[in-house]
Structure 1
Amino acid sequence: MHLLQVDHVVRKFGGLTAVNDVSLHLDDQELVALIGPNGAGKTTLFNLLTGMIPVTSGKIVLNKNSQSYDLTKESATKIADLGLSRTFQNIRLFKDLTVMDNVLTAMTNKYHEGFMTAILRLPNFYQTECEMRVAAEKLLAIFNLTANANTLAKNLPYGTQRRLEIVRALATRPQILFLDEPAAGMNPEETADLTQLIKYIQTEFKITVLLIEHDMSLVMNLAQRIYVLDQGQILATGTPEEIKVNPKVIEAYLGEGDE
């Protein structure tokens, strides 16, 4: 049984079919890439998988702890609680909050306090706050952001903002992490560092990663499997070696060069 099973998912916007009969799966602790030309429907598919928009038809099922959850019936908040987290193509940090506060804000879905506990500032409230801060400090240390803990997110360099967004997604303690073009706008040195960071995340945090990316060198170095999306449909799937020589993929995407 796959960790995440996507069956015949369709998303229509009026007369436009953005995602058309897509089926795919993710297994536990694997790193999968989703590639395709601009406008292929990749980010729309991410939005469907994480509950940002509803499906028109089809089914998305999470199999976790011997239970199955139909994600097409759940809100984005519930889906996040079930262990699916994401970054965005356009960075969506809280720009006027510090690095530390961005991470702490992301942790609230895993640290729940009763209403009266929070209002009256009972001992459990302070214990929870302490646990969250310790966990946040550990994450910042792992990703070399400790020195930036009190810096406003808007004052960080672009590459560091990208890194913080990944840290914030990890702060929710996901089982599946969706990365939407994490290398966008990065220079070659930053992209090389990001490649190592994603490898580290997948192995050390023992999570599944689904990656949208146009940088083919990054994809080929990271992915165990690749899905190719074209005009809203799955064009091909396989290992990096298989995708490189697939004539349909070469004609539709790889032959165009990196975008």
Structure 2
Amino acid sequence: MELLQVEHLTKNFGGLTAVSDVSLKVDDNELIALIGPNGAGKTTIFNLLTGVSVPTSGTVKLKVNDNLESLNGKPVHTIADLGMARTFQNIRLFNNLTVLDNVMVGMTSKTKENMLSEVFRTPSFYQTEDSMYEAAMKLLKLFKMEDSADQLASNLAYGEQRRLEIARALATKPKLLFLDEPAAGMNPNETADLTNTIKMIQEEFKIAIVLIEHDMSLVMGLAKRIYVLEYGKLIAEGTPSEIQNNEEVIRAYLGGDDNDLA
């Protein structure tokens, strides 16, 4: 069954149409990629799907309790609670918190403690804290970051900050994870580590992933299906091999040179 269903999504900013009549779908545990040149509307689509922006028209539906439920008009925190999480082009961490605390912050929306237990520090409060700590450390261990748990996020290397942002998103227990250019600014070794990390996420968590990325070697090595945007419009959809040989994609995305799609 479809996990995410997007139909005729459109977003206008004044006289500019940033996204025009885009329809796409994501199935359970599927990894798809959204590619296109700069300014094609990829991040705008992420913002529309996750509630950061409101569509001008069209519908976004997510599977909730085996039924597709409309997300239109729902606030960001509600959409996150329903099982969608994301990272951003520009890393957004709590730089003055430790690595561990960054992950634990992502878990707070799933806790059931009431205000009285938090104010009076009841036994259930400490049980919850212990449970969150253990879960956060387990997550950091999966990302090979447990030794950095007590470091400030601001002191991490760039690639580690990227991994931490993904770990924090996973701490919300999503069923659909959006990764917005996770390899941006990475060197080849960091990109290779990221590729392995994304593979690990799918194997370990059995969740769907939607990936925006300009690194075509990463996209072609991970995605099962690819959607291609140009000027806010969807111009192609298919498997990596189909996209590599699509003449319209080569023209629009690479100006007639297909070397970067290899």
TM-score (norm 1): 0.97
Secondary structure of 2:150's partner?
coil
- Using the alignment, how far apart are the partners of 1:234 and 1:112 within structure 2? 41
Match runs of 1:108-187 below 5 Å: 108-187=108-187
Match of 1:80 in 2: 80
Match of 1:30 in 2: 30
Match of 1:246 in 2: 246
- Using the alignment, how far apart are the partners of 1:197 and 1:224 within structure 2? 17
| AA in 2 matched with 1:142 | L
Match runs of 1:201-220 below 5 Å: 201-220=201-220
Secondary structure of 2:110's partner?
coil
Long gaps (5+) in structure 2: none
Q: Between Structure 1 and Structure 2, how many residues are aligned?
A: 259
Secondary structure of 1:3's partner?
strand
- Using the alignment, how far apart are the partners of 2:31 and 2:65 within structure 1? 20
| AA in 1 matched with 2:128 | T
Q: Quick check: 197-206 or 60-69, which moved more?
A: 60-69
| AA in 2 matched with 1:125 | F
- Using the alignment, how far apart are the partners of 2:202 and 2:177 within structure 1? 9
**CA deviation vs aligned residue, 1:185-207 (integer Å, no higher than 9, x gap):** 00001101111110111121100
| AA in 2 matched with 1:205 | F
**CA deviation vs aligned residue, 1:220-250 (integer Å, no higher than 9, x gap):** 0000000001100111000000000000000
- Using the alignment, how far apart are the partners of 2:66 and 2:210 within structure 1? 22
Match of 1:9 in 2: 9
Match of 1:44 in 2: 44
Secondary structure of 1:141's partner?
helix
**CA deviation vs aligned residue, 1:108-165 (integer Å, no higher than 9, x gap):** 1111211111111111111111110000000011111111101101110001000100
| AA in 1 matched with 2:210 | L
Match runs of 1:55-74 below 5 Å: 55-74=55-74
- Using the alignment, how far apart are the partners of 1:180 and 1:202 within structure 2? 17
Secondary structure of 1:105's partner?
helix
1:258 Cα deviation after fit: 5.4
Secondary structure of 1:72's partner?
coil
Match of 1:101 in 2: 101
Secondary structure of 2:167's partner?
helix
Q: Is the 8 A contact 1:214 1:258 kept in 2?
A: no
- Using the alignment, how far apart are the partners of 1:69 and 1:240 within structure 2? 30
- Using the alignment, how far apart are the partners of 1:65 and 1:87 within structure 2? 25
Q: Percent identity?
A: 62
- Using the alignment, how far apart are the partners of 1:258 and 1:168 within structure 2? 32
- Using the alignment, how far apart are the partners of 1:107 and 1:54 within structure 2? 26
Secondary structure of 1:51's partner?
coil
| AA in 1 matched with 2:227 | Y
1:68 Cα deviation after fit: 2.6
